[in-house]
Chain A
Amino acid sequence: MLNYIIRRLIGIIPLLFGITIISFAIIHLAPGEPTTQQEFMTPRISSDTRARLARLYDLDKPLHIQYWHWLKRFICLDFGRSLADGRRVIDKILERIPVTLTINILALVLILSVSIPIGVISASKSGSLFDKTSTILVFIGFALPSFWIALLLMQLFSVKLGWLPISGIKSLDFEYLSWSGKLLDLIHHLILPVFVSSIGGLAGFSRYIRQNMLEVLSQPYITAAKAKGLSRHQVLYRHAFPNALLPLVTILGLSVPGLLGGSVIFESIFALPGIGELFYRAVMMRDYNLIMAEVVLGAILTMLGNLTADIAYAYVDPRIRYGDGSR
């Protein structure tokens, strides 16, 4: 096991390099130089100041030296300052993480607790009315644009019925509420975002679990279990179910990029102060330092997601770690 982990850890080093090189290349796609914006704001800049600015940003050095300096700062998590308000980029990102994390964890709990039963039941009653209905719902769930369903639900629950707040994470009088009042207020604000961000996952996971379950049910050991005279319930839940859930570990790790991308859309619709909304603002204001920091961190997070998924999978399924390790 340790061997496997070490092998995988060594494998990510070139990926890390690749991620930083691609990100660095993207910054250099930008027309003009990072100083253009600063110069634009102070039009009467002298050529002397311009040269000093260029030196500050290493623009007078060849590209590979620039990359090297950028990488050194990057390893110390120094992404420079936001062009919007001059605060350190890393601080702006760190303070946004709790909101995004909370929503995604809640969404994940909702997704797993709904999609596992749906997937298992549709597979065990393959071809039944339940299976057919859930398949149709899954197809619709795949096709639903999250921002559209968000608009419709806001229209219904926030504007028409007035049951739920339309946006934001807390009410104006949040500071004056009691402890339980605060919690209730947060829950109130999170219902729509959590539901909206779960739809895609609900569809995906239900279908995935159904397929896994069907695959497992066709294995010889299930036939053996049936032949042994085990009850249907025992075959399904003792023998098939745990094996069908194994690959779920991988899918959880692989869903990181989708979750990050999705957070941009629904956090900006619901005006939630998470990293997605921060990214959206950064893009609108062309805050390059912030954009690059989020792209690089997003990529590293995705990579770590894949890595954890692989290691977790190797842990639960010994065939992987004793295999050739090419996975």
Chain B
Amino acid sequence: MKIRRASAAVAAVATGALLLSACSSPASDDQPETEETTAAEETADTEEITDSCKVDTGVTESADGEIQYSAGEVQWAGYNGNLPDTYSTYNSVVNDRMIGGFMYFGVDGTVCQDEEYGSFEAVSEDPLQVQYTLADDATWSDGTPITYADYLLDWATQAVTVDGTITEDASEEPLFNNVSGLTLGDYVPEGPQADSADAKSFQYDYERVYADWQLNVSGAFPAHVVAEQAGVTVEELVTAIEELDMSVLEPAAEFWNTGWLSSTPGELPDPALVPVSGPYMLKEDGWIAGQSITLTENENYWGTPPATKELTFRFAAADTHVQALQNGDLDVIEPQATVDTIPQLEQIGSSVEVLTGQTLIWEHLDYNFGDSSVFADNLAAREAFAYCVPRQKIVDDLIAPIDENAVVMNAREVFPYQTEKYEEVTAESYDGRYDEVDLEMATEKFAEAGLEEGTEIRIGYSAPNPRRADEVAAIKSSCDQVGFNIVDAGDPEFFAAGGALETGDWEIALFAWAGSGQIASGQNIYASGRPQNFGGYSNETVDEAWETLASTVDESVHLEQTKVIESELWDTLYGIPLFAHPGVVAHSADLENVRFTAAQDGIVWNAEQWSRAS
């Protein structure tokens, strides 16, 4: 049976009409625009910047335009990024652009002072007294000067307990949900001291020396907003903090804990509540739920204006970033540093520039000193293992394809890219004995340790992690020749409560520590009985050195003690450092002043200096 012919023909004509309609009346006579060439010229700024802090880029005025970046798919959560709920990379990439501070981390993790914001110095080292001075013209974007009151409140959020007392040992329940806990109050029980609430200069008297004092105070939240919300003046708030008047502090804390939380995505807080002290501020209607948040120039900023007027953070999953960069939807990306990423980025061509380097995250193998482990009380066994781990091969095969400058890491407290310090420390603490695989030596030590052929070594790590699986495979192919039997004990639950790490079912743990730029944080890892000393290592020399290091602010002592610690950790083999994780950044070639940084702030650390070449 066929559709009747006449109807079929008409239907065909009708279809034709539908198709025809794609045709058009003549359009305007404009010539087609000349094709835009995306090829970038050779960038002139090839000269290396040696200063690890920000350098002056000569910006005097903010240029119109928008730069887009994405840290990942997690949305912005609120102005107060110091709450446990909101404290995340995703939030701080945005908030750090809005809240200025005394210090920031330079590209190699050194502490830099932001001189436009203010300055600080230790006026006395023991007892430790630190003097902070704000710039005279430092004001919030609503015109209120930034003063002592803001820093007193900042201290109070890290000192006052829920019972209305100053913390004794930082273990009480705090009144303010500050993610930093009560550490500052523990060290500085008196709080910062100044002449008046609107003083620009104030001093912190430390009760005992704190090696990482430089990181303790940086930015602050506006006290005048908190005071207003608590129904008092700024002076009254200052008095209330000094006198621990809970009738004022409780409503203040209530606001601090909840009032700056944006719990409905897309709804920006009232601009009056969120004045800023940095170069950028929230743009009106700039937050589209689930999509992006835009910052715009803070026109009342007293310092160098941001190079580009608008900065947009898009909430997009990391695996979409490379194509988004290629299509111009993002201007700067930090893709996952895998072996596949680099060729993928290079394929895009000259419209994109790729920066690689090392980060503050470093991978290491740690021995288990627990009773069940063959490595406990057996230095020869640890040495046998150390001699057979192919560290150079691991770096060459897995890391060098990403960052060609990658090297084997021979220290724990300093990083290879902190060149001078690293060389000084390693020169004294490590003689290069584990640089190359030495199977003969390993076999000798293996025998000396009295281990049986086929001794099982479980290398535990948090799976799935293809790179670590490859590392274990490389170790296995080398160390099995010595007599070990390496077992890949990767497990998603490795770090979980009740997981293998806790129960001690491992001989070697393979994981990474994220360096925080702190000087004394390693004490928790290497000193006896500390919470992050997972393997149960204990060594008097090391303990003592850490005590000395942590109780002074003298940098030469820090360096000396670091040498002592490193060399003892090498001699007694706490573990074996492998490499600093590589990092990859790519940006559109027309952007200038994008600088790779090892520090945890990520590439946005100098976002206010990014500018588009005109």
Binding between chains A and B: no
Question: Which A residues are within 8 Å of any B CB, using their own CB?
Answer: none
Question: Which B residues are within 8 Å of any A CB, using their own CB?
Answer: none
